[in-house]
Amino acid sequence: MIRLYDVDKSFSLKVRGYEFASATEGSDANWLDIEIIVAQECGESWWQHGPYLQTFELNELVSWLELISEAPKASRINFLEGELAFEYTDDSTLTVWLDFNFHPKGKEYDYSKDSEYSLVFLCSQSVLEGLILGVRKMARSYPVR
């Protein structure tokens, strides 16, 4: 599980399972149903889930986090589906980018007007290490099939 929190907001992501639990073909077998929960002090909170991440992308996320942990530098990781992205900046912040179905507008999202929604968190070395452990655990629980 991924958990990020600050004084006025929190973000969590977990894998609910394979989208197609009995699939054997790689193009279907590796989609994961992920769930996000966002809570903000301003009262804006929401949760959503869907098949927006693949098993191999969990491994890519672990590698990306490890690189940042070893040699911090600004970078961003995007995934095949555009609902979720992460960005690390030189000032030790980690931004979670939410779009389309993960956007706070949900079904009210207007593709012609709306854009990515961001949540910014301070990201110390210990936070990075916790994220790495959490994503590794998810990747082990849902291996590439």
CA distance 133 to 85: 19
Given its phi and psi angles, is residue 47 left (phi above 0), alpha (psi -120 to 50 degrees) or beta? beta
Can you list the domains of the chain with their CATH numbers?
Answer: 2-141 (2.30.31)
Cβ burial 38-62 (10 Å sphere, 16+ → b, else e): bbeeeeeeeebbbbbbbbebbeebb
**Residue-wise pLDDT tens digits, 77-118:** 999 999 999 999 989 999 999 999 999 999 999 999 999 999
Look at the alpha carbons of 81, 93, 126, 11 in this order and tell me if their dihedral is positive or negative: negative
130 CA to centre of own chain: 14
**Residue 43 confidence (pLDDT) above 90:** no
Tokens at 6, concatenated: 């600050």
- What is the pLDDT at residue 27? 86
Band of residue 40 on the pLDDT scale cut at 50, 70, 90? very high
C-alpha span between 63 and 132 (Å, rounded): 9
Give the global pTM.
0.94
Q: Is the pLDDT of residue 26 over 90?
A: no
Percent of the chain scored above 90 by pLDDT? 92
Is 115:99 a contact under the CB 8 Å cutoff? yes
